[in-house]
């Protein structure tokens, strides 16, 4: 437990913003945390199990400190009953969440949302009640049975690219199951070894085939083996969940050691953000309306518009995975680990988070299906603004109609990939392709508008391109040209002065064709004229 809590706390610290402080733990949580630390420092007499499987549970210990265990996957169904069975189930959930050998297990908890909320672990998912969980159990068992075909579970897991889809899945039922519900469990598990197992509370006379654990007040029995049970009492469960919640929350508060804006001395002026360059010609387009299928925004700060809730942790990595999968449909997990430079365990956790974030369609089909064949692919209905732009200019930017170019440029919200461009090393080519396409589209539309004397469209097009590539010479020169067409000669000349300074500071020259274009534009107006003729503006 302490290792899990320490890991969560470190993630909190890494996610803290400057000037913010983690929400302090309550005195009760602090005391429980200290008690756990003291308990961990005590000499241990009990032994961990030898060579445990991912679904091994330590139920307790016999005399001599030998662990009494049950392998949930091998048992298929494990039923707990007796006056303290609920406390044994709480201990089992804690083990599945914190035991290092269980880090690959996916857990579905029925009827105990407090565990799922407190853990905030992508491996743990919840169902409101037994009925929904039983339906999910039957569906998952059937899906895996069909996917296995003539193969067995061991062979499926031996495939490195497909193994992630065959991880052990444990369904935990927090309330006693009725005889009818037990029949549903038996029906689902009768499909054979699919890596799906059940841990449930039940009555002593449960009639299905299962491993049975009887938990009395002071002792317990696994079949006929007596042992001292591992239990988590109700108060301890409450304290543990509070500790997990505290170390999992992502909200913060103003730090007392940081002077906030309202606390600045009266002789210090807090300046507002500077206005965006060319704001009058490059308004930010409205955000998409009501969500349909998931959509990734890459032409600016990266965002994912999806029906699920964003994860509280690793959201940036989930975004990266989603963008990578869009660019590499049908890739394997091995390729993904190699290209993204991540550990397999990290990849699996973040894929689970991404799957929940993307959600499912109206028929319950996930937008990130399990890769039973080893090939990972998003649902084809998951799209991006970059794909939309490519479709609009399909066949060539220079041949696309003006309306298509305007629609394409309206998709631009900022520099492609925004602040993550330097982090996504695999996406450098994608980034330069996006920038190049946007710049060329802006230049094409601006040139057409300048040729017909339409300075409004020309300035808008150049402005949209400069949003994606703020220092692009081609766009700056076209902006100079458009300002001259508009009769705004002073602004055009000042922009040329600024451009020359930037070129000198960078130690580079303006390409000859652009330098010639600037010269023609600046000398195309006669002294005293208020504007430029269409013919003069169009002669290049």
CATH classification of the domain holding 432:
1.25.40
Domain span including residue 220: 54-230
Residues 313 and 402 in one domain: no
CA atoms within 13 A on the CB side of 64: 3
Residues 138 and 226 in one domain: yes
Residue where one domain finishes, among candidates 230, 249, 272: 230
Contact 116, 172 (CB under 8 A): no
Residue where one domain finishes, among candidates 184, 202, 230: 230
Q: How many domains does the chain have?
A: 3
Residue where one domain finishes, among candidates 384, 406, 423: 384
Residues present in the chain in total: 540
* 451 domain residue, yes or no: yes
Distance between CA atoms of residues 459 and 482, nearest Å: 6
pLDDT in the model for residue 274 = 35
Name the 3-class secondary structure at 206. Answer: coil
Three-state DSSP string of 55-93 = CEEEEEECCCCCEEEEEHHHHCEEEEECCCHHHHHHHHH
CATH number of the domain that 332 lies in? 1.10.10
Residues 379 and 454 in one domain: no
* 495 domain residue, yes or no: yes
Q: Residue 227: which H helix or E strand, with range?
A: strand 225-229
Contact 77, 198 (CB under 8 A): yes
Distance between CA atoms of residues 186 and 27, nearest Å: 46
* 39 domain residue, yes or no: no
Residues 401 and 493 in one domain: yes
* 268 domain residue, yes or no: no
Q: Give the E-state strand segments of 383-531 in sequence order.
A: 383-384
DSSP letter assigned to residue 286: P
CATH number of the domain that 185 lies in? 3.40.50.300
pLDDT in the model for residue 260 = 63
* 245 domain residue, yes or no: no
pLDDT in the model for residue 285 = 42
Determine how β-strand 211-215 pairs with β-strand 77-81: parallel
Residues 377 and 425 in one domain: no
Report which of 43, 8, 37 is spatially closest to residue 22, judged by C-alpha positions: 8
Residues 108 and 216 in one domain: yes
Helix, strand, coil content of the chain in percent (nearest 5): 50, 10, 40
Task: Read off the tokens for 344.
Answer: 């397999």
Residues 111 and 131 in one domain: yes
Question: How far is the CA of 115 from the CAs of 107, 146, 372, 451, in angstroms?
Answer: 11, 31, 29, 66
Contact 200, 79 (CB under 8 A): yes
- pLDDT values of the chain reduced to their tens digit, one per residue, 540 residues: 888 888 888 787 667 777 788 888 888 888 787 778 777 766 665 667 888 999 999 999 988 778 999 999 999 999 999 999 999 999 999 999 999 999 999 999 999 999 999 998 999 999 999 999 999 999 999 999 999 988 899 999 999 898 889 999 999 999 999 999 999 999 999 999 999 999 999 998 899 999 999 999 999 999 889 999 999 999 999 999 999 998 888 888 887 665 665 555 555 444 433 333 333 444 444 344 345 899 999 999 999 999 898 998 899 999 999 999 999 999 999 999 988 888 899 999 999 999 999 999 988 899 999 999 999 999 999 999 999 999 998 888 888 899 999 999 999 999 999 998 878 878 888 888 899 999 999 999 999 999 999 999 999 999 999 999 998 899 999 999 999 999 999 999 999 999 999 889 877 888 888 999 999 999 875 444 444 333 333 333
Residues 445 and 348 in one domain: no
Residues 416 and 362 in one domain: no
Determine how β-strand 225-229 pairs with β-strand 56-61: antiparallel
Residues 112 and 150 in one domain: yes
Contact 376, 159 (CB under 8 A): no
Residues 365 and 416 in one domain: no
Contact 514, 474 (CB under 8 A): yes
Report which of 487, 477, 486 is spatially closest to residue 520, judged by C-alpha positions: 477
* 35 domain residue, yes or no: no
Residues 334 and 456 in one domain: no
* 24 domain residue, yes or no: no
* 277 domain residue, yes or no: no
């Amino acid at each position: 437990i302490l290792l899990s809590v320490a890991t969560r706390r470190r993630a909190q610290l890494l996610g803290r913003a400057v000037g913010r402080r983690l929400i302090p733990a309550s005195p009760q949580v602090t005391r429980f945390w200290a008690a756990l630390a003291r308990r961990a420092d005590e000499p241990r007499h009990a032994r961990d199990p030898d060579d445990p499987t991912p679904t091994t549970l330590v139920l307790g210990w016999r005399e001599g400190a030998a662990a009494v265990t049950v392998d949930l996957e091998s048992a298929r169904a494990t039923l707990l009953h007796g006056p303290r069975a609920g406390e044994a189930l709480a201990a089992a959930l804690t083990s599945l969440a914190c035991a290092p050998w269980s880090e690959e297990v996916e857990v579905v908890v029925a009827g105990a949302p407090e565990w799922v909320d407190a853990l905030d672990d992508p491996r743990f998912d919840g169902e409101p009640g037994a009925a929904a969980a039983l339906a999910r159990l039957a569906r998952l068992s059937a899906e895996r049975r069909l996917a296995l075909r003539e193969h067995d579970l061991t062979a499926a897991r031996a495939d490195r690219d497909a193994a992630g889809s065959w991880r052990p899945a444990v369904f935990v039922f927090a309330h006693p199951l009725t005889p009818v519900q037990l029949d549903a469990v038996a029906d689902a598990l009768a499909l054979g070894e699919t890596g799906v197992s059940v841990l449930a509370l039940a009555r002593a006379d449960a009639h299905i085939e299962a491993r049975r654990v009887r938990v009395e007040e002071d002792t317990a029995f696994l079949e006929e083996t007596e042992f001292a049970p591992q239990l988590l009492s109700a108060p301890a469960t409450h304290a543990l969940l509070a500790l997990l919640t505290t170390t999992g929350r992502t909200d913060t508060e103003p730090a007392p050691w940081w002077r906030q804006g309202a606390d600045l001395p009266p002789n210090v002026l807090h300046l507002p953000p500077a206005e965006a360059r060319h704001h009058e010609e490059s308004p930010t387009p409205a955000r998409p309306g009501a969500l349909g299928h998931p959509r990734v925004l890459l032409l600016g700060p990266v965002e994912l518009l999806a029906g699920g809730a964003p994860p509280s942790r690793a959201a940036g990595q989930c975004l990266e995975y989603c963008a990578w999968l869009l660019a590499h449909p049908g890739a394997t997990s091995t390729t993904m680990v190699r290209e993204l430079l991540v550990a397999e365990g990290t990849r699996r956790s973040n894929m689970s988070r991404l799957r929940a974030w993307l959600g499912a369609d109206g028929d319950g089909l996930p937008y990130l299906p399990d890769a039973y064949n080893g090939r990972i692919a998003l649902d084809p209905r998951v799209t991006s603004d970059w794909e939309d732009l490519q479709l609009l200019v399909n066949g060539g930017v220079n041949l696309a109609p003006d309306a298509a170019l305007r629609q394409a440029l309206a998709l631009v919200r900022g520099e492609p990939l925004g602040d993550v461009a330097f982090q996504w090393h695999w996406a450098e080519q994608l980034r330069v392709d996006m920038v190049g396409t946007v710049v060329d589209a802006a230049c094409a539309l601006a040139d057409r508008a300048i040729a017909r004397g339409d300075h409004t469209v020309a300035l808008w097009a150049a402005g949209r391109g400069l949003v994606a590539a703020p220092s692009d010479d081609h766009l700056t020169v076209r902006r100079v040209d458009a300002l001259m067409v508009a009769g705004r000669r002073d602004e055009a000349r000042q922009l040329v002065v600024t451009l020359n300074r930037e070129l000198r500071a960078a130690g580079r020259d303006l390409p000859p064709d652009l330098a010639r274009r600037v010269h023609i534009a600046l000398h195309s107006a006669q002294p005293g004229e208020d504007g430029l003729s269409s013919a003069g503006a169009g002669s290049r």
